[in-house]
Amino acid sequence: MKKIAVIPGDGIGKEVMDAGIGILECLNLNFDFSYGEAGLECFEKNGTTLPEETIKLSKNNLATLFGAITSIPNEKSPIIELRKNLDVFANLRPIKSFEGVKSIYKNLDILIVRENTEGMYSQIESFDENGDKAIADRVITKKASMKICEFAFKNASDDNREKVTCVHKANVLKKTDGVFKESFYKVASKYSNEFPKIIADDYYVDAMAMYLVKKPQEFEVIVTTNLFGDILSDEGAGLVGGLGLSPSANIGDKNGLFEPVHGSAPDIAGKKIANPIAMTLSIAMMLDFLNEKRCSKAIDLAIRNVLKKKRDLTPDLGGNAKTMDLANAIKKELKNLI
C-alpha cells in the first residue's frame, strides 16, 4: 500500500481535489490517503498557514497532493515552505497542447524545469532602519544550480528530447545568474559524452518571454531559476489554453509534491465550476513518479478524449458544465480505457 498525503487547501482547491481524488479512486490502486490542512481557512482556525502536523504528514508519505491556497498578507507562503521542508528541488511544469482546446499553437510539448529551493523565493527580506527601503536577497548557489541542470539533462535524455535551454539574466545579474549559467554549461560539458544528441543553448529571460510567443516550437526542455520559471510557465499556459490545463510536479530525492499551477480563484470558489483538469494531470504526474505509468498514461488519454469531444467542459474551456460533470466525463473515458 502506498501512502498519499492530501492537502486540499481552500477556495477551488477543495473542489478540484475532490474531483481529482474521485478520478484517482476509480483506478482501484492500493493507496492510503491521509488529509492535512494548509492555507487561509487553516490560518483562521489554527493561527498558522502550515501546521507542523501537515509538514510531518507530507514527510511521512512518499507523495503529496496539494490543491490551492489563498495568499495571506505578511504570512509566508505555505506551498513554498512545504517545498523547502520536503526538499523538492525540481519543479516540473509541462506546456502541452490539447486537441479540441482553443489555443494559440498546436502540437506544443515543452517542459519547464524550475529550480525550486532558492532564488527570489528564498523569502529573505528586510527593511532598513527607517522602513523606507525593502531588500530581498536573491540566493543562487552552485550546488543547487548544478543539481537542477543535471536533473534537466537526465529528464531530457529519458524522454528522448534533443535540446535543453538555460534561461537567465546574466548580462545584468552577473554574479547570481552568472553562477547559474556557468553551472549549466559545466553540466552540459560533463554529460556531452553520455547525452551526445542533446543540444545545449541559453537565452536571456526577456528574449525567452518573446520567443515563447513567437516560436515556442523551437524549445523542448527549459531549465531556469525559481522566479523566472514561475513567470514563464504561466506564459506557456496561456499558449495552450490557460492555467486550468497546467499541472506541476515538485520532485526531490525522497518525496514528490504535486499541484495544479493555478491558485485558489476566490472569485469562482463555491460556484462548482472550477476546471479539475490541472489537478487531475498533476495526479497523473504523481502516478508516473510512483511508477504507475500505465495509469498515468490512461488519465492523460482520458482527458484528451474528453477535450476532443468538446462536451462537459467548464466555462474556462468554453462550456457550461460543473466541475463534477467534467470529472465524471473523465472517469467514464478512463473506465473504458482500463
Residue type for position 60? N
What does the block give as the cell for 97? 497542447
Give the chain's length. 338
pLDDT at 314: 97
What does the block give as the cell for 191? 554529460
Report how far residue 188's alpha carbon sits from residue 19's, in angstroms, rounded to the nearest whole number. Answer: 41
pLDDT at 75: 87
The vertex-10 CA angle with 9 and 12, nearest 5°, equals 110
pLDDT at 122: 86
Convert the pLDDT of each residue in 156-190 to its tens digit: 999 999 999 999 999 999 999 999 999 999 999 99
Taking 70 as the pLDDT cut, the residues of the chain under it are: none
Provide CB contacts within 8 A for 100, sequence distance 6+.
Answer: 307, 308, 309, 310
State which H helix or E strand residue 221 sits in: strand 221-224
pLDDT at 163: 97
Q: Which residue in this structure is represented by grid cell 481557512?
A: 41
Domains with residue ranges and CATH for the chain: 1-88+246-338 (3.40.718.10), 104-240 (3.40.718.10)
Using DSSP's 3-state secondary structure scheme, residue 197 falls into: coil
Convert the pLDDT of each residue in 33-89 to its tens digit: 999 999 999 999 999 999 999 999 999 999 999 999 998 988 889 999 999 999 999
pLDDT at 31: 94
